[in-house]
Amino acid sequence: MDTAKSFTELQDSPIRFADNVVAPLSVFAYDGGFKISRGLSQNAFDEVLNHAKERVAASADKPYDDQRITLLPVKESHGLAWKNMENSGFYVYRDRVAVSFVADSVPEKKTLNILANTRARSDGEVPAMAGVCLPGLFVEGDGPDELRNIGVTFRLKAHPDVLIFFHDLKVLKDQPQLTSRQKNEFVWSSEFGVGKAVKLHGVFPWRTVKLDGREGVGTFATITRRNDATDYGYLVTVQGDLNAPTDTPDLLLYVERNASASQGKTPVTADELEKIGEEVAASIRRR
């Protein structure tokens, strides 16, 4: 989740694990950008709200309309919603989870609707109703979303050297439409910057792998880090379909060994990492 510090000041890599290790790939965007933290007490969050109210009040004296901020009606005591000419958003504290939301060019009615349908979610909880899960949070709703870019990073308790990243990206008209293989190649060559060299395994390394019952491309690789250390990675990419009758996003699963993060435990072998990747891929399905 996001750190408590990120609610009061800018912070590099604000999405981190509880031990302050950076979650390098995570992103929480659903019709706007979310910050989510369990690191703030209710009193600390109320201070965040008070500072936000002070900024709103100070903006009334600004000379231009696009510099002014207006409060939106919110009934709950530990919440605040706002808008200006270009953005809208809210702060809310529910069941010890602090939430901040900012959306570009989203009608204030939709922002208030997201606020009304946002609740805290226990770790591992799979809600019965339709909606979108984020770490510690659930946004209920079965209507179409304008933007969904949700990537969550996990670590295995038994193997701290293993990082698992799963990404759900809504297909939009104005974004490049890469095939599963093109996306796979792009990730290895440049997108994640995993090291200075990547060697794919196999004479023909591109395999058919399914995520959520949809066929994609899977690869396994040896990674040479910039310090010449050797690690391994397992990657599956599935192309979304803009014209499908149901929501069909781009999907990506990346499982990586980083031996330097093993915390004194024996790092997993290449075969063990590949098996973990295959098991995680087989478990992914829309619920």
The confidence score (pLDDT) of residue 247 equals 86
What is the predicted pLDDT for the residue at 173? Answer: 85
Q: What is the DSSP string of 204-220?
A: S--EEEEETTEEEEEEE
Say if CB 251 and CB 216 are below 8 A apart.
Answer: yes
| pLDDT tens digits, one per residue of 1-58 | 999 999 999 899 999 998 999 998 999 999 999 999 999 999 999 999 999 999 999 9
- CATH number for the region 156-283 comes to 3.40.1000
How far CA 139 is from CA of 94, 119, 133, 258, 269, in Å, comes to 13, 7, 7, 33, 38
238 touches 253 (CB < 8 A): no
- Token representation of residue 116: 């009304």
58-84 residue pLDDT tens:
999 888 888 899 999 998 888 999 999
What ranges do the domains of the chain cover? 5-151, 156-283
| Residue 265, Cβ density class (10 Å: 0-12 exposed, 13-18 middle, ≥19 buried) | exposed
Task: Report pTM.
Answer: 0.92
Composition of the chain by helix, strand, coil, percent to 5: 20, 35, 45
Q: Report the C-alpha gap between 70 and 45 in whole angstroms.
A: 20
Q: How far apart are CA 212 and CA 251, in angstroms?
A: 9
Q: Which residue has tokens 């973990």?
A: 276
Interval 136-160: pLDDT, tens: 999 998 888 889 999 999 999 999 9
Give the Cα separation of 220 and 246 in Å (integer).
Answer: 30
Tell how many helices (H) and how many strands (E) occur in the chain. 4, 16
Type of residue numbered 222: T
Calculate the CA 287 to chain-centre distance: 18
- Give pLDDT tens digits for 226-280: 999 999 999 999 999 988 888 899 999 999 999 999 999 999 999 999 999 999 9
pLDDT at 287 over 90: no
